[in-house]
């Protein structure tokens, strides 16, 4: 299978303009149809990706790098739509770094190809909602649960041996 990787560096506005051109060149509507056809060929029910069970999502989560987990945990706070500009401010990271850290999600998804993607990035719309991350509310709940568990474990491990956990 042929694969093309493109790295784009620059300010958010520059990247946005380049991304729009690439999407037009690639024929985004064709890509979506091709993806659904591939899902149907792979034997996924109705060509649709399956929902996650908590146990499956735990396995997926364990394969992610810490940076990707932190970003997903932030997006899970606003699953109905988290604009890239707001995410950049909340994390103190530029869009290119966020995108790079989320590459861990794509790598982990190779083992769960039949599952729905945990996060979706959409472009278009007005200036404020031009580049937005979306997440299924159930996936967001699982991420919050897992990230809260990691925070609790982290505070327990920082306790001195023999001291009571609060």
* Architecture, CATH, for domain 50-156: Orthogonal Bundle (1.10)
Give the count of beta carbons closer than 10 Å to the beta carbon of residue 46: 8
67-90 average pLDDT score? 96
- Domain segments of the chain as ranges: 50-156
> By C-alpha distance, which of 101, 107, 114, 120 is closest to 53?
114
Q: What is the pTM of this model?
A: 0.64
Q: Yes or no: say if 72 and 157 are a contact pair by the CB < 8 Å rule.
A: no
> By C-alpha distance, which of 130, 106, 128 is closest to 118?
106
Give the count of beta carbons closer than 10 Å to the beta carbon of residue 129: 14
DSSP character string of 64-131: S-HHHHHHHHHHTTSTT-EEHHHHHHHHT--HHHHHHHTHHHHHHHGGGTTBPPS-EEEE-SSSTTSE
Say what percent of the chain tops pLDDT 70. Answer: 60
Which pLDDT score is estimated for 166? 38
Write the pLDDT tens digit of every residue in 2-41.
Answer: 667 677 767 766 676 676 666 666 654 333 444 444 444 4
């Amino acid at each position: 299978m042929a694969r093309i990787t493109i790295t784009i560096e620059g300010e958010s506005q520059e990247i946005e303009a380049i991304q729009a051109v690439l999407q037009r060149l690639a024929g985004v509507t064709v890509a979506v149809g091709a993806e659904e056809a591939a899902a149907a060929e792979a034997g996924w029910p109705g060509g649709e990706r399956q929902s996650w069970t908590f146990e499956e999502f735990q396995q997926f989560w364990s394969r992610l790098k810490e940076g990707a987990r932190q970003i997903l945990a932030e997006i899970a706070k606003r699953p109905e739509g988290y604009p890239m500009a707001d995410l950049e401010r909340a994390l103190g990271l530029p869009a290119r770094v966020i995108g790079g850290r989320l590459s861990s999600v794509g790598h982990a998804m190779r083992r769960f190809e039949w599952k729905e993607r945990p996060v979706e990035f959409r472009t278009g719309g007005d200036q404020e909602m031009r580049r937005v991350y979306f997440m299924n509310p159930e996936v967001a709940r699982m991420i919050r649960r897992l990230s809260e568990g990691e925070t609790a474990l982290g505070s327990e491990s920082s306790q001195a041996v023999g001291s009571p956990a609060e």
